[in-house]
A and B are shown apart, each in its own frame.
Chain A
Amino acid sequence: MRDVVRIMLAPLLWLAAFSAVYGLQGLLCGHDVTGSIAGLPLPRVILIAAYGLAIALQCGVLAWLCRTRAAVGSRFVGFVSRATGWTGLVATIWSLFPVALLSICG
């Protein structure tokens, strides 16, 4: 089961991060959060921080998958899990990129 989880880890993390950031955006809009930090609107700062955290976590998972590939039972599982690891990272960067550019609640 560990091998199956390894293959699914990064996409699962993407799904969690994607849902969390979408939910966070909903909360910020639903509760009408305002304010600013260093001249930037607070909701934007929070969303970009969440985006950065999601990317950092994906990088961590990918690094872990690459570092521990020798410990995996088969080369196949190592390869597929690294491929899905890259998928998770690229999907996070691409699908959550709107937090940096678009109007948040409009």
Chain B
Amino acid sequence: MNALERHRRLSAIWASEPGFRGWFSTVNHNDLGRMFLVTAFFFFLVGGLLAMLIRAQLATPHSAFAGPEIYNQIFTMHGVVMMFLFAIPTFEGLAIYLLPKILGTRDLAFPRLTAYGYWCYAFGGTMLLVSMLFGIAPDSGWFMYPPLSDAIHSPGINTDFWLIGITFVEISAIAAAVEITVSILKYRAPGMSLDKMPIFGWYALITALMILTGFPPLILGSVLLEVERAFGLPFFQADMGGDSLLWQHLFWLFGHPEVYIIFLPAAGVISTVLPVMCRTTLLGYGWIVAAAVALAFLSFGLWVHHMFTTGIPHMGLAFFSAASTLVAVPTGVQIFAWIGTMWRGRPELHLPMLHILGFFVTFVIGGLTGVMVAVVPFDWQAHDTAFITAHLHYVLFGGFVFPIFAGIYYWLPHFTGRRRFFRLGEIAFALVFVGFHVTFLAMHWVGLLGQRRRISTYTPEDGWTAINLISSVGSFILAFGIAMILLDVLLHALSAGRGRRNPWKAPSLEWAMMTPAPAYNFASLPHVTSRAPLENDPGLPLHLATGGGYLGTPRDGRRETLTVDIASGRPEMLVVYPANTRLPIVMAAITGLFFLSLLLKFYWTVPLALVGVAALAWRWVWGLGMQEDPVPQPIGCGLEVPHAAAVERGPGWWGSAFLLTANATFFGSLLFGFAFLWTVAPGWPPPEWLTPSWGALILGLVGVAAGSLGMRLAMRQNRRGAAPSMGLALALAGTLALAYGCASLMLRAPAPTEHAYGATLLVLGGYGLFHAALAALMVVFTAAQVRRGFTSRTRRSVFSITCLWTDYAGFTGSIVLLAAHLSGLSP
């Protein structure tokens, strides 16, 4: 088979449906990455437009441009759009598009999950935009502090749009994070051990793990606040045992890592692009990986530095002040490694390099003001002023937007297969750089003069008029520059001439394919022996195109790829992907119906939507089953590996493990909330404690043990070739007993609308009940698979996945039951 024939056959297997219809059924990472990026930049334009409105309002004193109600919506939506609908999805889009290419594989781990995540993002973002068009957008600031955002002080639907819309969008982030984590750990080219992994892969892995552990506290906070608003459960009402500070803790447990979730992928872009622009290799690869890991962890110990003025004891403040200053060290390690890379190489001032230089100047200033506000006495002075707004823009624009522009110009020839023709980009960069610094240096200044953030107007006597005008002029220069960049990119995509492959002479694998990238990426998968495969073997693209690598022969119309051992990169199993389907968009629509029902308070459609999601999820995984035992598959280069269905820990197990990591963080945050309210909230002890029920407790705990033992028994029976019915029956009985224990707790909890204690027990019980029911459903699913002949001694992966979920339900359920009953004993 020659290269052209191989290309045609692979394209026929991997291509999306032609035309418009393909958008709705594609599960290919090339399409979905582009769709994510285009949608994210659409939201960037919306957010930018809102920023212009803010600056128009503040340009002059006593401005009548927008009244306070509209202005509140404008600045809230600016923050919400930029943080949730632009920054994170841009990372997701870039990672989804790039990762399989730089890792030397054909797609991400779970293509349908990628599509589902995209549609959740698109529908959730649309929901928020629609609220703005109707003038009922969120208006309590992007961090939505209660009591301002509670039902008493914000009675309209505006806040609900934030709480429900953002939670919907965050499904997308969690889905992408699971996808990215499993892909980086398992879906790499053979031979690509951890030390040979491209640096962007490390950054994306760390970021994805941070999303999995950083987003759940916010999801929990959103759930609790929405439940308070809708049903009166007083989690944040101080007179009923709640505490509005709990929201701040949950929000900033997400919010501060969020800054690094935004920065780290951008740092990955810098670490990838900078050495190519400097014609050298990255200095201190190992140090940079260690620094990125350190930064990720330290960023979780900073959240209280957003709460320095809330009256927390001095010792608590000092912990977080110390951690906040410490975080500058790993950041500095990366900055110095990049400076060293430039020093060692021969920098060439191509357009991506200009944006990288813009990043250096801007981000370093933002980092230095960050150290200033990490010092408590300074923060007390600057808190809630325009100085803080300016600082965060230096960090986020400097640390994300400049690097992303560098990345876009760097990978643009890859996206389009064209070479730059128009030269608008350089002028646009100058406008963006000057406009940004004029806008936000002025904002630092006016902040130090005392201008509060979020004010809709001011008086001439305040003395801020000239500075605000300068800032507004700067912002319009900035907007003009960004518009020129987008025009430049558009012109490039539509009209520039064909370019040659790998115009930057980069060493990484994404340039070892034709551009724009074919749907299958690599005609055959490479064997990686170094961190710079293209530099070491310039003939690699031809070798792969002619089928010299792994899986070079398309067979049976199947979309095939390989997974590898995490550490060594040794080929481990063959994975066959599902083909194009509309299942993800339908499931996202039904998920949207669930959230919309909550938003509009059509509670009768909530269970219908839940049943719909469960039915579609059943269909989703049912289709993966096989009714014949797969034999070891030849993959080329004289190797054979087992099929993914024939291993204990297949892709589904890994996906479940990381999804449960996020879930465990959610649960841990819930326990933290319980402990926080009990310890710190003013309205405790509650008027009534739970009356322990030893029967329900013992039944629940016995159920936990039975569920876990039952699944293990089923696995053992299956391994021996016996029918696993006894084990599955025991597991089902166990999970149902646990469900009974949790339901009983919910029914016996003291009145949940009267005190936060009862409300917390209700939510804890609900969490346990939901997971017990989910585990029971999975046991039933496993039994159905057994009955229909989808399992055998060889095809056993479904058992280990169900066992994982049953164990998790048992573990969390037992903590729920024990925590609730022990609290009942405390008086």
Contact of B323 among A4, A73, A91 (CB under 8 A): A91
Stretch of A6-14, A34-42, A52-60, A61-69 with 4 or more beta carbons under 8 angstroms from chain B: A6-14
Kindly state whether residue B804 has any CB partner on chain A within 8 Å. Answer: no
Closest to A29 in B: B313
Residues of A63-106 at the interface with B, using a CB-CB cut-off of 8 Å, are 73-77, 79-80, 83-84, 87, 90-91, 94-99, 101-106
- By the criterion CB–CB under 8 Å, are A95 and B567 in contact? no
30 A–B pairs (Cβ distance < 8 Å), ordered by A: A2-B567, A3-B566, A4-B194, A7-B289, A7-B293, A8-B297, A11-B293, A11-B294, A11-B298, A14-B301, A18-B301, A19-B301, A23-B675, A25-B313, A25-B316, A26-B680, A30-B679, A73-B568, A77-B195, A80-B290, A83-B287, A84-B294, A87-B293, A90-B326, A95-B301, A95-B326, A98-B315, A103-B313, A103-B315, A105-B313
Task: Kindly state the separation between the CA atoms of A9 and B296 in the bound complex, as whole angstroms.
Answer: 13
Interface residues of B (CB under 8 A from A): 185, 193-195, 286-287, 289-290, 293-294, 296-298, 300-301, 313-316, 318-319, 322-323, 326, 330, 566-568, 675-676, 679-680
- By the criterion CB–CB under 8 Å, are B323 and A25 in contact? no
- By the criterion CB–CB under 8 Å, are A79 and B326 in contact? no
- By the criterion CB–CB under 8 Å, are B290 and A83 in contact? yes
CB within 8 Å for A74 and B567 given contacts A25-B313, A87-B290, A91-B298: yes
Give me 11 other A-B pairs in contact (C-beta within 8 A), A7-B290, A95-B323 excluded.
A3-B567, A11-B293, A12-B297, A23-B675, A29-B313, A87-B294, A87-B297, A91-B323, A94-B322, A101-B318, A102-B318
Contacts of A98 in B (CB 8 A): 315, 318-319, 322
- By the criterion CB–CB under 8 Å, are B287 and A14 in contact? no
Task: Kindly state the separation between the CA atoms of A29 and B315 in the bound complex, as whole angstroms.
Answer: 11
- By the criterion CB–CB under 8 Å, are B318 and A84 in contact? no
Instruction: Give, as a whole number of angstroms, the nearest-CB distance from A96 to chain B.
Output: 7
- By the criterion CB–CB under 8 Å, are A80 and B294 in contact? no
Closest to A27 in B: B679
Task: Kindly state the separation between the CA atoms of A64 and B7 in the bound complex, as whole angstroms.
Answer: 51
Contacts of B289 in A (CB 8 A): 7, 80
- By the criterion CB–CB under 8 Å, are B313 and A8 in contact? no
Instruction: Give, as a whole number of angstroms, the nearest-CB distance from B599 to chain A.
Output: 34
Kindly state whether residue A45 has any CB partner on chain B within 8 Å. Answer: no
Contacts of A103 in B (CB 8 A): 313-315
Contacts of A91 in B (CB 8 A): 294, 297-298, 301, 323, 326
Task: Kindly state the separation between the CA atoms of A102 and B312 in the bound complex, as whole angstroms.
Answer: 13
CB within 8 Å for A76 and B313 given contacts A11-B293, A95-B319, A95-B326: no
Closest to A7 in B: B293
Task: Kindly state the separation between the CA atoms of A97 and B287 in the bound complex, as whole angstroms.
Answer: 26
Task: Kindly state the separation between the CA atoms of A65 and B300 in the bound complex, as whole angstroms.
Answer: 23
- By the criterion CB–CB under 8 Å, are B319 and A106 in contact? no
The total of chain A residues at the interface (CB under 8 A) is: 45
CB within 8 Å for A96 and B286 given contacts A18-B301, A25-B313, A30-B680: no
- By the criterion CB–CB under 8 Å, are B290 and A97 in contact? no
Instruction: Give, as a whole number of angstroms, the nearest-CB distance from A100 to chain B.
Output: 10
Contacts of A96 in B (CB 8 A): 319, 322
Contacts of A19 in B (CB 8 A): 301
- By the criterion CB–CB under 8 Å, are B314 and A74 in contact? no
Query: Interface residues of B: mostly helix, strand, loop or mixed?
Result: helix
Instruction: Give, as a whole number of angstroms, the nearest-CB distance from A84 to chain B.
Output: 5
Instruction: Give, as a whole number of angstroms, the nearest-CB distance from B436 to chain A.
Output: 33
- By the criterion CB–CB under 8 Å, are A18 and B294 in contact? no
Task: Kindly state the separation between the CA atoms of A57 and B9 in the bound complex, as whole angstroms.
Answer: 57
Contacts of A27 in B (CB 8 A): 679
Closest to A104 in B: B315
Closest to B202 in A: A80
A-B pair count, CB < 8 Å, reads 114
CB within 8 Å for A4 and B566 given contacts A84-B290, A84-B293, A98-B315: yes
Contacts of A2 in B (CB 8 A): 567
Interface centre among A23, A76, A99 (most CB of B within 10 A): A76
Contacts of B675 in A (CB 8 A): 23
Task: Kindly state the separation between the CA atoms of A8 and B209 in the bound complex, as whole angstroms.
Answer: 11
Instruction: Give, as a whole number of angstroms, the nearest-CB distance from B220 to chain A.
Output: 16
CB within 8 Å for A25 and B567 given contacts A12-B297, A76-B286: no
- By the criterion CB–CB under 8 Å, are A74 and B326 in contact? no
Instruction: Give, as a whole number of angstroms, the nearest-CB distance from A30 to chain B.
Output: 4
Task: Kindly state the separation between the CA atoms of A93 and B293 in the bound complex, as whole angstroms.
Answer: 18
Contact of B301 among A15, A73, A105 (CB under 8 A): A15
Contacts of B296 in A (CB 8 A): 11
- By the criterion CB–CB under 8 Å, are A8 and B293 in contact? yes
Contacts of B316 in A (CB 8 A): 22, 25-26
Task: Kindly state the separation between the CA atoms of A46 and B566 in the bound complex, as whole angstroms.
Answer: 42
Closest to B325 in A: A94
Kindly state whether residue A21 has any CB partner on chain B within 8 Å. Answer: yes
Task: Kindly state the separation between the CA atoms of A64 and B676 in the bound complex, as whole angstroms.
Answer: 35
- By the criterion CB–CB under 8 Å, are A31 and B679 in contact? yes
Considering the complex of A and B, which 6 residue pairs feature the smallest CB-CB distances, nearest first?
A76-B195, A11-B297, A98-B318, A30-B679, A83-B290, A87-B294
Contacts of B293 in A (CB 8 A): 7-8, 11, 80, 84, 87
Task: Kindly state the separation between the CA atoms of A8 and B210 in the bound complex, as whole angstroms.
Answer: 12
Closest to B297 in A: A11
Interface centre among B293, B298, B316, B676 (most CB of A within 10 A): B293
Instruction: Give, as a whole number of angstroms, the nearest-CB distance from B588 to chain A.
Output: 31
Contacts of A104 in B (CB 8 A): 313, 315
Contacts of B318 in A (CB 8 A): 98, 101-102
- By the criterion CB–CB under 8 Å, are B315 and A99 in contact? yes
Task: Kindly state the separation between the CA atoms of A104 and B608 in the bound complex, as whole angstroms.
Answer: 52
Task: Kindly state the separation between the CA atoms of A87 and B311 in the bound complex, as whole angstroms.
Answer: 30
Task: Kindly state the separation between the CA atoms of A4 and B209 in the bound complex, as whole angstroms.
Answer: 12
Instruction: Give, as a whole number of angstroms, the nearest-CB distance from B102 to chain A.
Output: 18
Instruction: Give, as a whole number of angstroms, the nearest-CB distance from A47 to chain B.
Output: 8
Contacts of B323 in A (CB 8 A): 18, 91, 94-95
Task: Kindly state the separation between the CA atoms of A77 and B194 in the bound complex, as whole angstroms.
Answer: 8
Contacts of A29 in B (CB 8 A): 313
Task: Kindly state the separation between the CA atoms of A90 and B323 in the bound complex, as whole angstroms.
Answer: 11
Contact of A3 among B194, B287, B300 (CB under 8 A): B194
- By the criterion CB–CB under 8 Å, are B194 and A76 in contact? yes
Task: Kindly state the separation between the CA atoms of A7 and B318 in the bound complex, as whole angstroms.
Answer: 28
Task: Kindly state the separation between the CA atoms of A1 and B330 in the bound complex, as whole angstroms.
Answer: 24
Contacts of B300 in A (CB 8 A): 15
Instruction: Give, as a whole number of angstroms, the nearest-CB distance from B191 to chain A.
Output: 13
Task: Kindly state the separation between the CA atoms of A28 and B313 in the bound complex, as whole angstroms.
Answer: 12
Task: Kindly state the separation between the CA atoms of A15 and B322 in the bound complex, as whole angstroms.
Answer: 14
Instruction: Give, as a whole number of angstroms, the nearest-CB distance from A28 to chain B.
Output: 10
Task: Kindly state the separation between the CA atoms of A99 and B185 in the bound complex, as whole angstroms.
Answer: 39
Interface centre among A15, A23, A83 (most CB of B within 10 A): A83
Instruction: Give, as a whole number of angstroms, the nearest-CB distance from B298 to chain A.
Output: 6
